[in-house]
Structure 1
Amino acid sequence: MVGIAVFSGVINILMLSGSLYMLQVYDRVIPSRNTATLLGLSLMVLFAYLVQGYFDALRTRMLCRVGTLFDAGLQQSIHTALATLPLRGAKPMLMQQPLRDLDQVRSFMSSMGPTAFLDMPWIPIFLVALFLFHPAIGMTALLGTAAIIAMTLLTERMSRGAAKAAMDSSAQRQVLADATQRNAEVIRALGMTDRFTARWSQANERYLRENIRATDVYANLGSGAKVLRYVLQSGMLGLGAYLVVADRASGGIMIASSIMMGRALAPVEIALGTWKQLVAARQGITRLRDICKATAAPPAPPVVLPRPCRELSVQELAVTAPGATKPIVSNISFSLKAGMGLALLGASASGKTTLSKALVGIWPSQNGVVRLDGAALDQWCNEDLGRYVGYLPQDVALFDGTVAENICRFDENASSDAILKAAQIAGVHDIILRLPDGYSTRIGEGGMSLSAGQRQRVGLARAVFGDPFLIVLDEPNANLDADGENALTRAIQILRLQGCIVIVISHRPSALAALNMALVLYDGKAIAFGPCGEIFARVRNATGQAATAREPAPARQPPPARPPAAAAADMKTARRAPIAESVEP
């Protein structure tokens, strides 16, 4: 930017050449009728114009590269913000705002807007030159410049609110458009197209209304500034003509002062023309500074910890959803040794998924701590912790790429052996081989070219890739058939034999057969923890007690035996045993 400012100084000095040329033509060439002098002056001003054009193009090219360097320098921070804001409970309209702000700032820095502000410090040079022509001309130019600057400040004040409202409505419109694209299948299948079209129309009309309001402010003030500049230039000619008639100035001064006045006010007019982009870029800079500061990655730990291999311990853990204050789970404490498998059980909304997100470091704890081999999760940097953790969410969340890329977590240095090992543990190797291009098959955004069961099994392979120590599976068999469930059970057994800790959330008993421990959640609290046999025995006892409490009088014939699932439903209705409510036997 310092170099660009220097070039701006050279350009502004060279811009005096046009006024000086006209001054010399009127004062020297015309009275003397000397064509040699005219030719010499013309060649000099032509050379000055060529040098000015070269430096002007060079300045514009440098500004474009400065904007690009600004973008490149922030790309890591911006991506960190995009990946962090959803975990902080940010509103949907704010999640994509950093990227829009970055584009806005880069576009402004690559435009003519910054050149106007680089040229403004040179306005006094033109004013001094006009004062040298004649004090009256200089004073007129000074008053005109002050009026233009006052109008610029008025534009800033009146456009601030309109620009912000237009930006907010644009963000809301973009959020609705993104939601429509993501859920196009549901919208079409459920006949909601017309309703979402109406919502889109309302958001778009609001955006257009705010945009018109902001544009009107810029148009009115910009046109007013342009009219004022025309008046000043014409007034300068009139004043110069009066001075010529009064024999107090020459004709060359009259013409040169008018040209120089227009040049002095040109940066202000350019600034007014790009004021909308300036306001948006300035607001974007402010938001980028705040967001990058709030989402900055924590400093790297001074010591790189080794791969955990002994235990997982949870101590008095309380977790809230991002942006909320009330804990979803609280006072959770348990520990697991290497090779153990935990069934995380509970009724819907009991906090199982919330606890699973805290165990792998997605949601930070409000109170308490999660430790691997005695070290809290925040003592690892995210990349290192990710290698030691495997996670399969309810929404598998595959990405556009090949099957192999999704399994290896898009690690360019992953070996084929590691990818094959993960696929074989997950029991998905043969399925992948039957795909059109095997491991090179592109699966599309979200894995759209795969079935739900295939997506879940590829997600399981991704979770076990790289021999992680802690593996958390949230409803891993929700879309699996009998063969898929058998493969899941086998995978859990293999992982436990390798010394991994496996935690499974499931409502289907087949996924729990390979686990030896169970934790029961009820209303966000742990009500039972221990070996699976003991926990399930307590569930059966609670089920029997609830059934006894519901039996009719002895004189009547007892009702026929009810299936376990129906008995569990009765227990939930009776609210007699929280454990029975949380686990279906």
Structure 2
Amino acid sequence: MLDAFLGKRPGSEPLFAALRQCRVHFIGAAAFSALVNLLYLTPTLYMMQVYDRVVPTAGLTTLVLVSAVTIFALGSLAALDWLRTRILIRAGIQLDRDLAGTILARVTEAGGRTQGVQALRDFDALRGAVSGQGALALFDAPWTPIYLACCFLLHPAIGVLTLVGGIVLAVLAWLNERDTRPRLGRASRAGNAAYAAQEALSGQSEVVQALGMRRAIIGRQLEGRRAATDSQAEAQLTGGRYSGAIKFVRLALQSAALGLAAFLVVKGQMSPGSIIASSVLLSRAVMPIEQLVGAWPTLVQARTSWKSLIDLFMKTAGHGQPRTALPAPTGHVSVEGIGVRLPGTETPQLRAVSVKIEPGQVLGVIGASGSGKTTLARVLAGALMPDTGSVRLDGADYGARDSDVLARHIGYLPQNPTLFAGTIKENISRFAAPSPETDAAAVRAAISAGVHDLIQRLPNGYDTVLGSQGAGLSAGQSQRIGLARALYGDPVLLVLDEPNASVDQDGETALIGAVEAAAARGAAVVIVAHRAGVLARADRLLALRDGVVQVEGPREDVLARMRSPRPGGLHEVKAG
């Protein structure tokens, strides 16, 4: 049933694997649904017994016994319905435990190309459908033919009325799905865009306030929310129109069943007890269709979320696959014709970039703003996978190692240090498991970055707790802590993107010392910088222009070429 509704195609394997882990829950829910739907026949049987046996014979004893059995059956129905709801909730919990971590890992593996918040929102929509009313509606739907058969057993005319009514309701349900699906899609996209815009601005409130942009930004946010709300309201109004029509048809069918049954009793073709029974049976036969219509927006959203998660899994198909353990690298880095074009851009950020870096060598990357320097740094750090070409560490492509294993050999300091909520020691140690070895390595990294004394002057030293985005430190302090994090574990490749952008003279001196020490122990170092001071230690320079290597070679040779009066001269070295 899930295969047919959700569609099994490449990339869906992790989702189906997680659903299979919940098969015991689904089997239990299906079994209880079967019992619940059988027990829903209790009111029908009770009415038939009362009108056919109790009333004609005035059998009060029979009435008491039948009533007692009915109360017990209805109590069992309520208990089983409660149990199947709890089972499905447990299935949702199991699904979260099995898939949430995988989805977060895949989002990280996607190199920032997929919004993690949106991926989890998609997963929550899918989990809600699997563990809520949508799943109950699907479990009840197969019982419609059984109730229809019971209607035919009462009388063929009752069965035909139920069949025709079911067809009418099914047509209305199909029309509802056809008309609401595109509207629900637009509402979902508009809502996602509005939430994404809000999340993007959540950490920039101070800038918005300081620049007097509050009213303008609020206006833009309200426009996005208004578009999302209007789209959602349109979908709900369309669905509500069909829901009202379906409810009207169902109530009309119940009344028609009563009238038809009464006519058949008058004609002597049915017993009086069948009058109420026919109405109850018809109501139960068409009830799943109404339930499906009510749950349809949830099911459609679940299917859309399913497809979005499949796209995520397809983009990160190699994640988690076993890889042969390779020897620890020594720092031979080779960039081979890489090309990168970020989503939403027309011009590639990098085109056919190639360069080699040897252990102990310092490469400086220069170029004007927008030349592709930061993109190259992200690729070298393993934070962004190139669209073409490859990056190799000691001859092995980055993809040959698990991303976490690869990251242990690379130290990366981005333009924005991006510290996380937690202690300073946890941030430096990359949130490694606490141990004396972890503490010692974190302190060594801080000493190498020249930030040990600064940390000790903080209120709680290495145990100082930072807020979200590293709140509690200045920009310069955050950058120096980020440098210590990059040096943690003595990586063989150190990638520093504008490492001196926010530091003072003491911080730049410490930075140069850290670069020299890393190169002295044999690490390959890549520095992206605008200020020339930190590039004085560079052995080689690589100049980028519009994503293409303009010139690369020994530092003095590159500087000599860039000082020439030809286009791309000294002014570009200063700008870059």
- 1:404–1:439 contact (8 Å) kept in structure 2: yes
1:513 to 503, 513, 536: 536
Of the candidates 67, 75, 92, which is equivalent to residue 42 of structure 1?
67
CA shift in 2, pair 1:272/1:380, >3 Å: same
Contact kept in structure 1, 2:409 and 2:491, CA below 8 Å? yes
Tell me whether 27-36 or 454-463 shows the greater mean CA deviation: 27-36
Aligned to 1:22: 47
**Structure 1 residue 502, shift from structure 2 partner:** 1.4
Match of 1:441 among 447, 464, 468: 464
Give me the whole-angstrom Cα distance separating, in 2, the residues matched to 1:279 and 1:51.
33
| Letter paired with 2:49 | Q
* Contact 1:310–1:337 (8 Å) recurs in 2: yes
Q: How does 1:144-543 map to 2 (within 5 A)?
A: 144-298=165-319, 300=321, 302-322=323-343, 324=345, 326-413=347-434, 415-538=438-561, 542=564
- The offset of 1:148, in angstroms, is 1.6
Pairing 1:582–2:569 present: no
Identity of aligned residues (%): 39
Check whether the contact 2:425–2:442 (CA below 8 A) recurs between aligned residues.
Answer: yes
User: Is the contact made by 1:301 and 1:380 (CA closer than 8 Å) also made in structure 2?
Assistant: no
**Cα drift, residue 246 of structure 1:** 2.5
2:20 alignment partner in structure 1: none
Residues 1:69 and 2:94 aligned together: yes
Per-residue deviation, 1:27: 0.8
1:97: Cα distance to partner?
A: 2.8
Distance 1:85 1:526, change over 3 A: closer
Cα distance, 1:81 vs structure 2: 4.0
Q: Secondary structure at the match of 1:362?
A: coil
What aligned pairs does 1:112-151 form with structure 2 within 5 A after superposition? 112-151=133-172
Deviations, residues 148-180 of structure 1 (Å, cap 9, x unaligned): 222111211111111111111111211221122
How far apart are residue 21 of structure 1 and its match? 0.9
Shift in Å, 1:315: 3.5
Q: Deviations over 1:449-498 (max 9, x none)?
A: 10010000000001000110000111111111111111111111211222
Equivalent-residue separation in structure 2 for 1:147 and 1:491 (angstroms): 76
CA-to-partner distance for each residue in 1:182-204, whole Å, 9 max, x for gaps? 22111111111111111122112
1:76: Cα distance to partner? 3.1
For residues 260 and 523 of structure 1, do their structure 2 counterparts lie closer, same or farther at Cα, with a shift above 3 Å needed? closer
Deviation at 1:30, TM superposition (A): 1.2
SS at match of 2:466: coil
| RMSD over equivalenced CA pairs, Å | 2.2
Structure 1 length as normaliser, TM-score? 0.88
Inter-partner Cα distance in structure 1 for 2:355 and 2:137? 65
Larger Rg: 1
The corresponding residue for 2:11 is none
Give the TM-score, by structure 2 length. Answer: 0.90
| Contact residue 243 and residue 249 of structure 1 kept, 8 A | yes
Instruction: State yes or no: 1:33 paired with 2:58.
Output: yes
Out of 417-426 and 177-186, give the one that drifted further: 177-186
**SS of residue in 1 equivalent to 2:574:** coil
Tell me if structure 2 keeps the 8 A contact 1:342–1:503.
yes
- Unmatched runs of 5 consecutive residues or more in structure 1: 547-575
Q: Is the 8 A contact 1:86 1:95 kept in 2?
A: no
| Matched AA of 1:194 | R
SS of the aligned residue for 1:334 comes to strand
Cα distance change of structure 1 residues 14 and 183 upon mapping to structure 2, 3 Å threshold: same
Q: 1:339 touches 1:498 (CA, 8 Å); kept in 2?
A: yes
Alignment correspondent of 1:571: none
Specify which of 115, 122, 126 is matched with residue 101 of structure 1: 122
Distance in 1, matches of 2:267 and 2:562, equals: 111
Task: Determine if contact 2:364/2:541 at 8 Å carries over to the other structure.
Answer: yes
Given that 1:321 and 1:363 are in contact with CA atoms closer than 8 Å, whether structure 2 keeps it comes out as: no
Amino acid at match of 2:80: F
* Residue 425 (structure 1) shift: 0.4
Tell me the alpha carbon deviations over residues 363-417 of structure 1, each in whole angstroms, 9 at most, x when there is no partner. Answer: 3334443322222222222111100001111111111111111111111256110
Contact 1:345 1:352 in 2 (8 A): yes
The aligned counterpart of 2:15 is: none
Q: Residue 254 of structure 1 aligns to a residue in which SS?
A: helix
- Give 1:543-558 correspondences, 5 Å limit: 546=565
Tell me: CA distance 1:211–1:529, structure 2 relative to 1, closer, same or farther (3 Å). Answer: closer
Aligned to 1:56: 81
Question: Aligned pair in 2 of structure 1 residues 108, 329: CA closer, same or farther (>3 Å)?
Answer: closer
Distance in 2 separating the partners of 1:286 and 1:314: 34
Contact 1:521–1:582, Cα closer than 8 Å, also in 2: no
Task: State which drifts further: 475-484 or 281-290.
Answer: 281-290
Paired AA for residue 518 in structure 2: L
Range with greater deviation from structure 2 (167-176 or 517-526)? 517-526
Whether the aligned pair in 2 keeps the contact of 1:229 and 1:265 (CA below 8 Å) is yes
Cα distance in 2 for residues equivalent to 1:189 and 1:318: 39
Cα deviation for residue 524 of structure 1 reads: 3.5
Q: Tell me which moved more, 327-336 or 162-171.
A: 327-336
